[in-house]
Structures are given as C-alpha cells and as structure tokens.
Amino acid sequence: MSTARGSARRPGTEAAPLTERSARVVVARKLTRRAGREKAGAFLAEGAQAVREALVAHRAGTAGLREAFTTAAFAERQPELVADLLDGDVRVHEVTERAAASLSETVTPQGVVTVCDRLDVPVSAALAVRPPLVAVLVGITDPGNAGTVLRVADAAGAGAVVFAGDSVDPFNGKAVRASTGSLFHLPIARERDVDSVLAACRDAGLSPLGADGHAAHDLAASEARALLGRPTAWVFGSEAHGLPDELVARLDSTVRVPIYGQAESLNLATAAAVCLYASAREQREPGGVRG
C-alpha cells in the first residue's frame, strides 16, 4: 500500500508489499537505535493508540508524521485508521508481517508503525508558558519508567517533562510505548547540564523540589503541603540511586513519599505518580496556583 491521499485500497490489489529488505524499511529500522534516531531526527511510534495520537498531533501542527507502515492484516482490522492516515496526507506503505516485525520492539507486533519527527525542544521553550507543574528526570535509565512518567505527568496536568543529565532517550521504542501517546501531549526537553535545567526552572518561576527517601518531611506533613501548592519542578533521580547528595544540596527542598507498609521503596514511576498528583491536588485547592 505505498500510496498517497485519496488512494486507499484493499491490501494486495496493487504493488507487492515491502519486505524487510526494502530500502524504506531498512532506513526506518535504523530508528530502533538511538544513534539512528539522533542522526535522522526521527523516531518510531508503534501500535494503533500511538499512531492515532501521532496523527492528531500531526494534524494540529504540533508533531510531524513522515510516513506509516501497515500490514494487510492490520489494514483489514482497522481500515478507518489507515483511511485517516491517508486523509491526513501521510504516505502509507503496505509491508509484510516480517517487515513489520523488523520495525517492532515487541513480542507481538500490532502491524502499524509510523515515522515521526523528534519532538524535543530546548528547556527554555518547554518552560516558556511558565507551567505551574513540571517533571525533571535526572539520570534515569529505564525506558519503561521514562514513558510511564511521561504518561503520569500528562495525566496529572504537568506542563512539561525535562530529561536531564545522562538519561535514557525518551524516544526509545519502549519509552514511546509506555507513554501510550502522552509524549505527543506535552513539551519534552533534554539537557545534559543539570544546573542549567534548575536555573531555567527558577527563571520560569518554578521551585525545584526533590523526591528523596531521606527527606525530613513526607508528603502528608504540613511543611510539605505548604510547598506543593506553589509552582513546582519535581526532580526525580535514577531508579537505582535516587538523587545524589550534591544535587539535593542545589534544590529548594526535598520531600519523601511515606512508606506505611513493609516495602523497602517505591519504583521511580510510582513515586513520580504520587508526587505529581499531590502537587496537582494542592495546586487546585483554594490558594494554590490554580485555585
């Protein structure tokens, strides 16, 4: 189905599907590696939900969708999505099941993949509208956690997510899947210099607040709740080590998530969800930044 707008058809009636050796598929497959994504300025979004969100953003002018690859089986199952892609002036290529599998990083590929322009912007651009709630991820390495935090930040109404330090690529295939389309909903920035990120947050009126298991106060304490209603940049550290002491010293304050049971700790994505929603709730109370 290598076709343009207005020429949707029943799979298999024209040119043969592209195989895993076809030039377009080979080029797209390079986007499964970080180096390939960096060089091309693009990434892969796989699965019906991600493709729908990519198409909505493409039509809104907030994301670029270069092309799509679908299997005949997927086109039969979801003809309306294929038609929507074509109607959005997205070039759609029919591919074999093996070609689709070569573009997928899942055990059971859904049969649809799109090539999208990278979405990351400078930190200053992500914070330009002075959002009252932002998530800053410092040195996180697990793409599943990265994508889940993107999803949580979106759900909690955060205005941006910043990947700071030596963090995972948010456009890694696993991260994109874990975000379930949320990466198309809010600005994403990447910056290796953590100090410049903290400075940009303060310039945007945000108070950098760290999630630290060793903090003096937990989220339920009155001292912590007084902080949560203010414009906040929540800073989360790596999955294995949390926030390093030298970074904690550069934050305005730190708060810990209380552990009431016997669990040793919470994983990054769960802790981020608790913290971001605590701020979202307080900011919407009378007297909060959105009250």
Contacts of 162 (CB under 8 A, 6+ apart): 123, 126, 134, 135, 136, 137, 188, 189, 190, 191, 197, 201, 233
CA-based nearest residue to 46, from 105, 88, 91:
105
Residue 20 contacts residue 98 (beta carbons within 8 Å): yes
What pLDDT digit, counting tens, does each position of 193-244 carry?
Answer: 999 999 999 999 999 999 988 888 888 888 888 889 899 999 999 887 889 9
Res. 13 pLDDT band, cuts 50 70 90: very low
Going from N- to C-terminal start, the domains of the chain cover 23-117, 123-283
| Topology classification of domain 23-117 | 60s Ribosomal Protein L30; Chain: A; (3.30.1330)
pLDDT of residue 219: 87
Q: Fold identical between 23-117 and 123-283?
A: no
pLDDT tens, 97-114? Answer: 999 999 998 888 899 999
* pLDDT higher than threshold 70 for residue 179: yes
**Through-space distance between the first and last CA atoms of the chain, rounded to whole angstroms:** 52
User: In this structure, are residues 63 and 118 in contact, taking their beta carbons and an 8 Å threshold?
Assistant: no
Closest CA to 42 of 169, 226, 201: 169
Q: Which ranges constitute the DSSP H helices of 68-120?
A: 72-77, 79-87, 97-103
Do the beta carbons of residue 136 and residue 162 sit within 8 Å? yes
Task: Categorize the per-residue pLDDT at 290 as very low, low, confident or very high, splitting at 50, 70 and 90.
Answer: low
pLDDT in tens, 118-171: 999 999 999 999 999 999 999 999 999 999 999 999 999 999 999 999 999 999
pLDDT at position 197 is: 98
Structure tokens at 202: 């303060």
Domain 123-283: state its class.
alpha beta
Q: Among 126, 117, 180, 119, which residue's Cα sits nearest to residue 148?
A: 180
Whose CA is closest to 276, among 216, 209, 213, 194? 209
What letter does residue 164 receive in the DSSP assignment? E
pLDDT at 291: 41
Residue from 285, 266, 271 nearest 228 by CA: 285
Provide the sign of the torsion angle of the four alpha carbons 4, 8, 12, 14, taken in this order.
Answer: negative
pTM of the model: 0.89
* Predicted local confidence at residue 287, as pLDDT: 66
